[in-house]
Structure 1
């Protein structure tokens, strides 16, 4: 009995000692100082050195918006301007992976030599047009993706119209999947039709940059003249064509509220 009582008292004493300062107990005084010093070094304020622009990919379902987004992150990751996000990391919801389409908007960030971008990858399916509008409402400019094998489709036209209605004034066109089209006249026809469509919706159709390439070639590292070089050309076009927005940082912060949830035991939560 005395052995059991002594063992129990010793265990309680050790537990009490550990609960007083687990960091000090594990590291010692010197280790604790180093640990806290390292923690303080990470608590520095974030300073943005480049102008910030909100951008996104819009267009018809299955024309390659998410693939292009992944290609951009891969290319910029090679330059040290982003973290590479694979296709499956962008469309990560189980239903998105099952159906192979984007349902919810996905948010990605990357940089170029001159700017920092927040990129919204919008769904192209007609059933999720509300999610597309939500994503486009925050954009300063947009990339509309058109498959060279299909040309403009219903959501190509609808997304252009909605982008215009929510205030997006500058568009860059990426004609994707050009590696799957052998007829060069077909590519010229797609470009001509897109310029006409842009003009009909109030955009500068004749001046708008149109890049012909393949996002998949860029990701797979083949046909650089159709892949990585075209992604570079796209980013250069975005930097030059989409103006840097003026943001009045002297005024109070405003956040648009999209929805309000009542959570039992927690209260009311606003999201936007």
Structure 2
């Protein structure tokens, strides 16, 4: 065997291999910082990110050539490069010179890896800014030195504060366009500090920069000898990423899925939100409250002696207890709360305003429940921080409102736990995300009001009446014949010795709903109340017939969701508008056409026809008696 210990070539190769291994190991164990750039339009967010990518040598030669060519096309002359083009990827963005979508970019330095989100500045794209900020550890809030603190500066700062970003950098950009004047910088910092204090921001780091020229980006600038603070990269490399507070908090892990690859293994996988876990720890599964002990903490790389916040793991229990997606595993002795009514802060993200009382999907961590929002207590004017009285929330509005869910959810206040306190609202019909929000606290009545179990349940009521209770939900335009047909159906059921009750739209508005008008919000509340009453009557064993226009699919689906599968029968009384208007038995269409009756369905308020009703009747082709007979035949055999 040849001794290569003193061979220079061997030694050199070994040292190179050792250096490469050391470099790869160092790179693998670098911490990751997620941050966003935000602020008003044209404050230079995209240019700053482009400069960071350029200065960190994250641009390939062909990209640089294309960037130089593109810069000339948009009017940049000489050796200057339009760095914004590195980030503004949409054609519409390049054409308009603005950011529309959130652009994510990755770069790294010797000390840290970074994911940066370039958030749009235009008010109409605030929803996109929220998306980028939701996972950020730090926010770089840019201000154009020529313009100072603007409305969007305040809005984005307030949103960053709301969603819990504690590390804020106030980057006063385009200092080259004000001749690096310290007085301009100091004035902007003073104005921003007054605003920040008014909304509860405790601290921020201010620095004068030029994204275009590169001042104070990766090193100190000769143009700002009066500035003694860190440059941007230096600050980003040293700021704390994962607060030690998160790991010191009690263990919380929302369950994403049950890991069952074979009969010999059963574990529960998820991302640890706070705290740490190790074999031998006593845990509690919520909302059931079942307890057990951790036997293993498993990852793809093998078992861990301990896992901490930010790690994705699979946890195995000593006992076979029920645990599934949406549950939360916590330390046994200090579990989180569970409630179904909350006070929340909501950022509305949809073009269509909030419909008070409408049921939306609420997604909190891995939990998904049905939720309704009450009329907001107030909205926040981001310019003055004034609390403004409102009836709903429009696009980009920020308000405080109470939320009720159809079952208890496991949560913690957002200030304590972003994972178990932050939620989104999803429209049940379109599946669009319409809002983001933060749970502040559970309402006291949610803790004090409990469901009282009774010995005689709905099954006993139904057995006594010798029938299967149902809701026959008649929907259609005014004048379609809903009430007439429902009355005929009830008469037929009565002859068959069935126990029924008819809830008619007009009759209900004489008593239970006499306080409601005909706005969209009132119509939604009208159907919500009727749905709850119908549910109680079904629990009493009755066959309930309802005759309501009920113009919105979301509310009809909300009532359906209150009942067991098969007990909600949607009956669409399908009558064309021109036919219903020609009948105009009550003279309502005439009033609506004359402008004397506002929010009338079919005229100035929409009707959303059922997509797949259980039963459809056409009153142009059938008399009310024929329609009723058709419905009875569809319902048979009627147990």
- SS across alignment from 1:217: coil
Which range moves more in the overlay, 167-176 or 236-245? 236-245
Q: Cα gap change, 1:172/1:83 in structure 2, threshold over 3 Å: closer, same or farther?
A: same
Separation of aligned partners in 1, 2:176 and 2:222? 10
Q: Cα gap change, 1:155/1:210 in structure 2, threshold over 3 Å: closer, same or farther?
A: same
Corresponding residue for residue 402 of structure 2: none
- SS across alignment from 1:204: coil
The aligned runs of 1:124-163 (5 Å cut-off) are: 124-163=121-160
Separation of aligned partners in 1, 2:425 and 2:102? 14
The aligned runs of 1:232-247 (5 Å cut-off) are: 233-245=231-243, 247=309
Q: Decide which of 56, 59, 82 is 1:83's aligned counterpart.
A: 59
Corresponding residue for residue 15 of structure 1: none
Separation of aligned partners in 2, 1:76 and 1:226? 21
List per-residue Cα deviations over 1:185-205 (Å, max 9, x = no partner): 222101211222222222223
Q: Decide which of 236, 241, 248 is 2:310's aligned counterpart.
A: 248
Q: Cα gap change, 1:214/1:141 in structure 2, threshold over 3 Å: closer, same or farther?
A: same
Q: Cα gap change, 1:198/1:226 in structure 2, threshold over 3 Å: closer, same or farther?
A: farther
Corresponding residue for residue 38 of structure 1: none
Separation of aligned partners in 2, 1:62 and 1:159? 14
The answer to whether the 8 A contact 1:54-1:140 is kept is yes
Q: Cα gap change, 1:161/1:54 in structure 2, threshold over 3 Å: closer, same or farther?
A: same
Structure with the larger strand share: 2
Higher relative contact order, chain-length normalized (CA < 8 Å, sep 6+): 1
1:95 aligns with 2:157: no
Separation of aligned partners in 2, 1:212 and 1:224? 9
Corresponding residue for residue 178 of structure 2: 181
Q: Cα gap change, 1:155/1:117 in structure 2, threshold over 3 Å: closer, same or farther?
A: same
The aligned runs of 1:175-214 (5 Å cut-off) are: 175-182=172-179, 183-205=181-203, 208-214=204-210
- SS across alignment from 1:215: coil
Corresponding residue for residue 104 of structure 1: 101
Structure whose CA Rg is larger:
2
Q: Cα gap change, 1:128/1:199 in structure 2, threshold over 3 Å: closer, same or farther?
A: same
Q: Cα gap change, 1:51/1:146 in structure 2, threshold over 3 Å: closer, same or farther?
A: same
The answer to whether the 8 A contact 1:217-1:224 is kept is no
The answer to whether the 8 A contact 1:83-1:110 is kept is no
The aligned runs of 1:25-36 (5 Å cut-off) are: none
Q: Decide which of 33, 44, 50 is 2:30's aligned counterpart.
A: 50
The answer to whether the 8 A contact 1:57-1:121 is kept is yes
The answer to whether the 8 A contact 2:50-2:85 is kept is no
Separation of aligned partners in 2, 1:242 and 1:153? 29
Corresponding residue for residue 35 of structure 1: none
Corresponding residue for residue 167 of structure 2: 170
Separation of aligned partners in 2, 1:170 and 1:129? 20
Q: Cα gap change, 1:224/1:74 in structure 2, threshold over 3 Å: closer, same or farther?
A: farther
1:217 aligns with 2:213: yes
- SS across alignment from 1:135: helix
If the length of structure 1 is used for normalisation, what is the TM-score? 0.66
Separation of aligned partners in 1, 2:85 and 2:34? 23
List per-residue Cα deviations over 1:8-56 (Å, max 9, x = no partner): xxxxxxxxxxxxxxxxxxxxxxxxxxxxxxxxxxxxxxx7320112111
Structure with the larger helix share: 1
Separation of aligned partners in 2, 1:258 and 1:98? 33
Q: Cα gap change, 1:163/1:212 in structure 2, threshold over 3 Å: closer, same or farther?
A: same
Separation of aligned partners in 2, 1:258 and 1:94? 30
Which range moves more in the overlay, 91-100 or 186-195? 186-195
Gaps of 5+ in 1: 1-46, 261-272
Which range moves more in the overlay, 115-124 or 181-190? 181-190
Gaps of 5+ in 2: 1-26, 64-82, 247-308, 315-324, 326-364, 367-422, 428-639
Q: Cα gap change, 1:167/1:251 in structure 2, threshold over 3 Å: closer, same or farther?
A: farther
- SS across alignment from 1:116: strand
Corresponding residue for residue 33 of structure 1: none
Separation of aligned partners in 2, 1:197 and 1:236? 26
The answer to whether the 8 A contact 1:170-1:203 is kept is no
List per-residue Cα deviations over 1:121-159 (Å, max 9, x = no partner): 000001101001111111111111111111110000000
The answer to whether the 8 A contact 2:34-2:138 is kept is yes
1:68 aligns with 2:130: no
Separation of aligned partners in 1, 2:53 and 2:138? 18
The answer to whether the 8 A contact 2:44-2:142 is kept is yes
Q: Cα gap change, 1:235/1:88 in structure 2, threshold over 3 Å: closer, same or farther?
A: same
Distance apart, 1:259 and its partner CA: 8.2
